[in-house]
A and B are shown apart, each in its own frame.
Chain A
Amino acid sequence: MNSYRQNLLGYSFLLPAILVMALCGVLPMAFVAYYSVHDTFGGNIFVWVGATWFKDVLASPEFHAALARSLGFSALVLAIEVPLGIYIALRMPTKGVMASVYIALMTIPLLTPSIVVGYLWAAMALPKAGLLYEVLAFLDLSLNMNNSIAAWLVLALMDCWHWTSLVVLLCFAGLRAIPDDYYRAARIDGAGNWAVFRYIQLPKLRIVLLVAILLRFMDSFIVYTEPYVVTHGGPGVSTTFLSHELVLKALVEFNLGEGGAMAVVYFLIVLSVSWAFFVLVVPKPEGRAGSARS
Chain B
Amino acid sequence: MNKKTSFVPAIYVGFLIVPIYWLIIMSLKTMKEIESSFIPYPQALTLENFEFIFSDPAWYLGYLNALIYVLMNVAIAVTVAVPAAYAFSRYRFFGHRILFFGFLTFRMMAPAILLVPFVQIFSELNLIDTHIAVAIAHCFFNVPIAVWILEGFISSIPREMDESARIDGYGLLRYFRKILLPQIAPGIAVTAFFCFMFSWVEGLLANGLTVVDAKPINGIMTRAGSVMAADMPLIAAAGVLGLIPGVALIVFMRNHLARGFSMGRVV
Q: Interface on A for B, CB 8 Å cutoff?
A: 3, 6-7, 9-14, 16-21, 23-25, 27-29, 31-32, 35, 87-88, 90-94, 99-100, 102-116, 119-124, 126, 128-129, 131, 134, 161, 164-165, 168-170, 172-178, 183, 204, 207-208, 211, 214, 218, 221-222, 224-225, 229, 242-244, 246-247, 250-251, 256, 259, 263, 266-267, 270-271, 273-275, 277-278, 282, 284-285, 288, 291-294
Instruction: Write the chain B residue with the least CB distance to A170.
Output: B261
The winner among A123, A161, A208, A282 for most chain B CB atoms within 10 A is A123
- Interface segment among B44-52, B53-61, B114-122, B181-189: the answer is B114-122
- CB of B139 within 8 A of CB of A24, answer yes
27 contacts between A and B (CB under 8 A): A10-B93, A11-B87, A20-B139, A23-B136, A93-B5, A105-B13, A107-B246, A107-B250, A108-B246, A108-B250, A111-B197, A111-B245, A111-B249, A112-B201, A113-B200, A114-B218, A116-B243, A123-B26, A164-B12, A168-B12, A176-B1, A225-B203, A225-B204, A263-B113, A273-B108, A275-B101, A292-B89
Take A23-B136, A25-B140 as given contacts and tell me if A274 and B105 are in contact as well, using a CB distance cutoff of 8 Å.
Answer: yes
Tell me the complex Cα distance, A218–B112, Å: 13
**Distance between B138 CB and nearest chain A CB, rounded to angstroms:** 8
- CB of A176 within 8 A of CB of B204, answer no
- Main SS of chain A's interface residues? helix
- CB of B247 within 8 A of CB of A108, answer yes
**Distance between B175 CB and nearest chain A CB, rounded to angstroms:** 12
- CB of A177 within 8 A of CB of B266, answer yes
- CB of B143 within 8 A of CB of A292, answer no
Q: Which of A20, A122, A263, A278 sits near B136, CB closer than 8 Å?
A: A20
Tell me the complex Cα distance, A78–B255, Å: 29
- On chain B, the residues within 8 Å of A32 by CB distance are 113-114, 116-117
Q: Interface on B for A, CB 8 Å cutoff?
A: 1-3, 5-6, 8-10, 12-13, 15-20, 22-23, 26, 34-35, 38, 40, 66, 76, 79-81, 83-84, 86-89, 91-94, 96-97, 99-118, 120-121, 136-140, 143-144, 147, 155-156, 158, 196-197, 200-204, 217-218, 221-222, 225, 232, 235-236, 238-239, 242-243, 245-247, 249-251, 254, 257-263, 265-267
- CB of B83 within 8 A of CB of A251, answer no
Take A10-B87, A10-B93 as given contacts and tell me if A243 and B3 are in contact as well, using a CB distance cutoff of 8 Å.
Answer: no
Q: What would 11 more interface pairs be, CB under 8 Å, given A108-B250, A246-B110, A259-B116? A: A10-B92, A14-B84, A20-B76, A23-B136, A25-B140, A35-B116, A111-B250, A113-B201, A207-B267, A208-B266, A243-B112
